């Protein structure tokens, strides 16, 4: 029944999906936190930049962003991210595109987390003489992160599924393999089912484990 799987590197393709997810997750957590900091910070221009960035990026289809990283950044602006080989370049560009897109959602999640921290916390911190960076990094963000594990998990799951868009610039992840298999094999429904199952295996445990972690670390108020 599963003869059609032979000759295809299914695990390899899903491994690329996992790599894309993990790298983009780390990148978008960092960039998304920075964006959130800009949006609540004292410099008006940075606030404006953060708002504009989030509003533009999250309204563009991811496919366009991914294609832009390759067509625009690489083919026009000449950014090659330290590699000569197109396969490597496009993998890195896909990570970059996913980071650019996902960080907008990370930023919004963290901002909603900052809103759940009681005003008294920040006021007390300021009364102690802490400056903005210290208030944010020592007092507010640690509490905010604990309350947004749930939303961030959802963003991570969405990111896992969004890596399929990297197929648009030829990154050999799961969706590209699926497309190739559908072109060559007859068992369309079975192939879809196998790949659907693969994604369920990747995303469901993530949701369950992080959901448990979220409950564990949540600040009880």
203 sits near another protein (criterion: CB under 8 A): yes
Dihedral over Cα of 215, 216, 219, 221: its sign: positive
- Tell me which residue has tokens 């298999």: 181
168 sits near another protein (criterion: CB under 8 A): yes
Of 203, 162, 176, 153, the residue nearest 57 (C-alpha): 162
169 sits near another protein (criterion: CB under 8 A): yes
- Tell me which residue has tokens 């504009």: 52
185 sits near another protein (criterion: CB under 8 A): no
Of 103, 74, 94, the residue nearest 166 (C-alpha): 94
147 sits near another protein (criterion: CB under 8 A): yes
Choices 6-14, 19-27, 92-100, 157-165; region in contact with another protein by CB under 8 A: 157-165
Contacts (CB under 8 A) with another protein, residues 59-78: 59-64, 67-68, 70-72, 74-78
Contacts (CB under 8 A) with another protein, residues 105-124: 105, 108-109, 111-119, 121-123
173 sits near another protein (criterion: CB under 8 A): no
Termini Cα distance of the chain: 54
* Contact status, residue 178 vs residue 192, Cβ threshold 8 Å: yes
12 sits near another protein (criterion: CB under 8 A): no
178 sits near another protein (criterion: CB under 8 A): yes
46 sits near another protein (criterion: CB under 8 A): yes
10 sits near another protein (criterion: CB under 8 A): no
32 sits near another protein (criterion: CB under 8 A): no
* Contact status, residue 45 vs residue 68, Cβ threshold 8 Å: no
Other C-beta atoms lying within 10 Å of the C-beta of residue 206: 15
Choices 3-11, 18-26, 91-99, 148-156; region in contact with another protein by CB under 8 A: 148-156
Choices 1-9, 18-26, 91-99, 208-216; region in contact with another protein by CB under 8 A: 208-216
Token code pair at residue 196:
């659907």
195 sits near another protein (criterion: CB under 8 A): yes
- Tell me which residue has tokens 């879809």: 192
145 sits near another protein (criterion: CB under 8 A): no
Give the ranges where the chain is alpha helix by DSSP (H): 10-40, 44-57, 62-68, 86-116, 119-127, 132-134, 141-147, 149-162, 174-184, 188-217
200 sits near another protein (criterion: CB under 8 A): yes
Q: How far is the CB of 82 from another protein (least distance, A)?
A: 15
Choices 5-13, 19-27, 85-93; region in contact with another protein by CB under 8 A: 85-93
């Amino acid at each position: 029944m599963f003869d059609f799987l032979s000759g295809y590197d299914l695990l390899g393709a899903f491994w690329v999906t996992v790599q894309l997810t993990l790298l983009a997750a780390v990148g978008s957590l960092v960039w998304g936190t920075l964006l959130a900091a800009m949006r609540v910070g004292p410099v008006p221009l940075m606030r404006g930049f953060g708002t504009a960035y989030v509003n533009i990026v999250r309204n563009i289809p991811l496919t366009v962003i991914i294609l832009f990283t390759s067509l625009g950044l690489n083919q026009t602006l000449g950014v090659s991210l330290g590699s000569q080989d197109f396969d490597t370049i496009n993998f890195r560009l896909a990570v970059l595109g996913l980071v650019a897109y996902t960080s907008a959602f990370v930023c919004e999640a963290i901002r909603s987390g900052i809103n759940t921290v009681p005003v008294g916390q920040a006021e007390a911190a300021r009364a102690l003489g802490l400056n903005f960076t210290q208030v944010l990094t020592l007092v507010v963000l640690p509490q905010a992160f604990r309350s947004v594990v749930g939303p961030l998990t959802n963003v991570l799951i969405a990111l896992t599924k969004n890596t399929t868009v990297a197929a648009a610039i030829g990154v050999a992840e799961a969706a590209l393999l699926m497309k190739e298999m559908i072109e060559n094999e007859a068992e369309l429904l079975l192939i879809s089912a196998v790949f659907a199952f693969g994604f369920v295996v990747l995303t469901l445990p993530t949701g369950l484990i992080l959901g448990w972690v979220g409950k564990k670390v949540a600040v009880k108020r």
